[in-house]
Structure 1
Amino acid sequence: MFKGFMDHWVPTRDNLTTFWKQDLPTVLTQLDELKRDVDYNHFTFYTKWITNGIKSNLPFMHNHPKASNVKTDNQWGNAIIDHLHKQGCSVGAMMQLMIFEQPEWGDGMEIGQWDVPGGGTAEPVKVADFTHEDYPTRLAAIIREHLKLFPGLDYLFLEFEGLDHAGDVSGPYKRWAEAQGKPPLDQVSYDDETLAYCRILDVPLGVLWSREVREMLKYYYARNMDAADAVLKEMNFRGKVGIVYHLYEYEAFIYPDVIKDRMHWWLLPWHYWTFRPGTKQIQDQRKLVGKDLLKQWKDAGHSVCYIGDATIGAIRGDRESIPQFYEHCEDLELEGYLGMGNPDPRLGLRWNSVSDQDCLDARELYARLYGKR
């Protein structure tokens, strides 16, 4: 099981991380110091999140002048990959491919706008119309460019978050329903198991949980994953590819089905237990369900990497869940465990409510979990 952390190559507000704009000696020193304290063997970087963190030649991607990759023509990122490889660590790129910056993304291929906290963009980002006929072409172009510019990458982790936050599926669903003979959006149906599941976990029941919308999502998600696979084959990528989604929300009942015919794809479910409030009874139920889903996916033959909290939720709010889920992942012999965040109070990735002391506490906790050199 690889044991890793995450930080941003993408421009982000300074209170969350400054890793993305530091010079190379500074970030290499930080990674080495963390390695001395916590024996991680993997690091993943957001190369495309709300913003773009590489120097891109694609017309629909925005290059940020303060980003270290832009300033160095991507030499910065490649040097980080080489350095981590010399330390015996694998390296992944995580790409959020549902949301894009204005004005580069253009008009006519969006289904909403999202003002993301912490994104650091002057305008809300656009939620891409993942059903558009041109979307797979853009998706393929982003992946192709990443593999060309950063040939040392060992993992590609793709994420399509945003639909449940700010996406409006009414237009795509209307076209789908008319073509497939499905009912209109206000007449979609829900199975009893889904209704009970959402009630027990206190999850809002929206159309994304319906039978008909779920069927549509499976079709287009499969189409887009096939477009990604075609590029991986074209570029002779020898690493691993995976899909990132929330542990127990609606995508947890879509992607595992989609990749039954694509078992080379890893599943990367995530959750940070201080992020979503609930009574102790509800939280305990969510944890039971989350652990059971991880076991189900592993037992079904999937390669699974759990993305848990490091410095995203305030560790003082829940110290128990991190080791509980890490130990559960070890017991299941998952392929990986990825701690979201970089426990360094000076420049590492953290979220809004996380203090310097929280970062230090997380560093100490992960030293116990991952071990020390």
Structure 2
Amino acid sequence: EGYCPPYTATAVANLEAVGAPVLGKTNQDEFAMGSSNENSAFGPVLNPWDSSRVPGGSSGGSAAAVAGGLAPWALGTDTGGSIRQPAALCGIVGLKPTYGAVSRYGMIAFASSLDSAGPLTRDVADAALLYRHMVGRDSADATSVAFPEQIEMPSAERLDGITLAVPTALVEGEGVEPGVLASFEASLQLARELGATVTSCGLPSARYALSAYYVVAPAEASSNLSRFDGVRYGLRVDESNLDEMYTETRHDGFGAEVKRRILIGTYALSSGYYDAYYGRAQRVRTVVARELSEIFETADFIVTPTSPTVAFGLGARVADPLAMYMSDLFTIPMSLAGTPAISIPCGLSDGLPVGLQICGPAFSENRILSAAHALEGAIGFDSSPPMSGGT
């Protein structure tokens, strides 16, 4: 509480350099671990469409601020869906970059091989505008790379010659709400009317992607968060000896979900279990990336709903971590592969926003933004929430 960073993140500095105003920081799940923005010392963020429901997470504060009209744009981080999922639940646009396209310098590491920073905006054009100034090689982040082309402002109104692949077994699987599926299918029909070809594809590894992610990400978090020990970083609880200080500092300094993931990650990396869990999870990750690459040989994009459900009630899944983790069903495969994806609003279900996810191969953001712009125009979604039910 009251923490003031000693330096500015590269992505923020890049935007400030071209005149973008920075208003402040928004709430989020602790260490970006969560899908509902209820894992915060500052309390939950409320969804502007219905203040009794979550905004999604972990970048829920950013999504709610944009949806509620507090700011024209915001930044978020996406490790397993934390830009795209809150964008979907709040009825705005959220872009997850190709891994390495945006510098991670200034971001507190959760899972270093998955973390990305990206924009949340009211429309696709604004997302492109912000993203243009966020990308690029940064000497302070060894994983960052130079983007191979300039980010263009999207103007497409048609999808002629574009092939969209739908992983049908995943999209029509258990846990997807009928209203979400109906909005998704209506969007596919609009895509056809714009000239796109819609095909089915297989993504067999997707059934294991969620489990693999929740081994890989906690394993990396276990290592990254070890620095918060009361000596070098973060809260310090004074005790009579060093062992007690370490124990009480980490007990008091982390919330329940963060501690859960640290323990999962430590277990997965421990002697005798490394190959059985972490090694297998990394092999699944490799297979997911290969299957996505094979799909892109015959299709331009993969499309899915962004979230299997609309925004759920505050507290509805706090006691059931597995149900909470299922919120990332459609976003995690792209995170494991490091490929870019965007979420745009595509309709309402029970008066709440539904998101459409468009994913392409690495560094295809210009084409993704172009396709998203065309679909956005055809869908004609009104991103203004009914303020009587908002925050």
Decide: shared fold, TM above 0.5.
no
Q: TM-score, normalised by structure 1?
A: 0.25
Higher RCO (CA < 8 A, seq sep 6+): 2
